[in-house]
Structures are given as C-alpha cells and as structure tokens.
Structure 1
C-alpha cells in the first residue's frame, strides 16, 4: 500500500500565531487528535490533544 492511498488532501491546519483555544476548537469541531501547525503555509510542527 502506498502513502498516497491513505493521505488526506483537505487538510485542517492552524497558523503558529493563533491561540491555543483556536487549536482546541478545531480539534473538537473536526473530531481529530492532531493538527499541523503552519507558518506561511509551511509545516513547522504538529500539536496534539495530548500536548494540550
């Protein structure tokens, strides 16, 4: 199996300058446990429910 068969194209991300409460809202709204963090559309990290 290839990665392209598992990956999602409609990503939910958060900008590094947004508030932690914004991240929690997105995690809960979309029922996800990890959120890619971006800076000018470049991946700079990942925040998880457990981190919070």
Structure 2
C-alpha cells in the first residue's frame, strides 16, 4: 500500500517492553520534533492502520 509521503517515529512508551513505531503523513512537520521530546499521540479511529512487524 502507498500511504503518501510519511515520517517514521520510534516512540518509547512507559510500561511497554519495546518502543512503538509510528508513521504520519507529512502534513504536520514531524521532522521539526527534537529527539527526546515528549509528544502526545492522537488519531481519528478511522485513520488508524495497524501493520504487522
């Protein structure tokens, strides 16, 4: 599947054994988020696409 131009983030979640892999379409500017910055993940349930490892 092609999801357009995306940014890939690796996010550490307290309590999870492994980091969460997140991608977003490049309409926000995730490339401006400094490494180590706390972020809030929110999404429209219709927009979520779960992908296997």
TM-score of the pair, normalised by structure 2:
0.20
Q: Which has the higher contact order (CA 8 A, sep 6+)?
A: 1
Point out the structure with the larger strand share.
1
Point out the structure with the larger helix share.
1
TM-score of the pair, normalised by structure 1:
0.20
